[in-house]
Structure 1
């Protein structure tokens, strides 16, 4: 009854819609990483890996919501260096950002020099699948902490947070295969997506170091770059159609 009465307040609905939008936007980063990483797996394992990766994200976020009092404490400074205070959240963001920059750099190097065996994931399918899930889990943790702390800052109602997280992860689940297939069919998009991951990683490091970067600027830059690439793809496809018609 208390749960239903919560939704009689119009401000709760506003908070819910706003939080869902925020969670979906924040989930783009996670989904982009999962799409690129799972595309390196054998075709028969890709969809399963995406589902497991997104499922882990949901479990992790709901688990963090269950320990919300502990999550709030993650923003409490634990030590100071050169007048800069660092909390556990900052350390998690820095570690996640470094991992993302390292991963994106490694993948860009592999794209430029695909014959370099050192950059390939070696071993059988099980090891490859396990390595992919392990890396997805690391980034799930980083994005989940950021997501939940954002939710805590927007509403005090845990049921609202749970609904927003479930809706956002459901959207991720529905968008995972189309996004991954689109990236797989358009090789030039891979480099752009890796550049996005490097940008996101750098932003996470900056946030952890205490330099706030408005998310709007980041997503505006990503949208502009994606728009330019879309025009390039349109022009390239038009040229190919003309060449085909000429023959």
Structure 2
């Protein structure tokens, strides 16, 4: 029987898993030592399909997630930005393949042909249904089913067009602004997750102009030692901070 595109995708992901698994396990053990299994389980989270598995038995989705979540602590020491972007793209491609997404269409999940699947059909179907039921309204937009009114940030609203009245097309949303507090202890991981789950979707839009600014506020009751002041100021200049200063009050 001829191989379908889905079969080719499954074969490619399986080959990726076979090549990636020993590398991921080696690097994790190298930098995390005896805590590697516990840390991998924490990074995998509530993935019931991979829960309790050894590192060598994880599927490709779990391997890529572990790489992404532990990038700053492990993989950034040997890999660069291009490889990080590739990991992000592979995660997205694998998720599309697992959910049978093609050209924006949801294709049926068949239980009769499970060969080559890296996720169980029933698991993928249940996850897709949960995602469809819990998709939030876009940021800056609220809707009311009772009144049929959709409100946008800024107080504007639109109501259903009365029968016989000329239809109008609502102006598209053209700007996005977001602000979030990050943990200084997990800055790299949280910033990376924001880049993957928010910025990646926006920056890929045609003509998108993205600007990201990082603000740092630190208060030290006992004062900052002179040596630390010199090091921080020099590093800020090297990193081309637009504004950086210390204050006495």
TM-score by length of 2: 0.25
Q: Which has the higher contact order (CA 8 A, sep 6+)?
A: 1
**Structure with more of its chain in helix, by fraction:** 1
Q: Tell which structure's C-alpha radius of gyration is larger.
A: 2
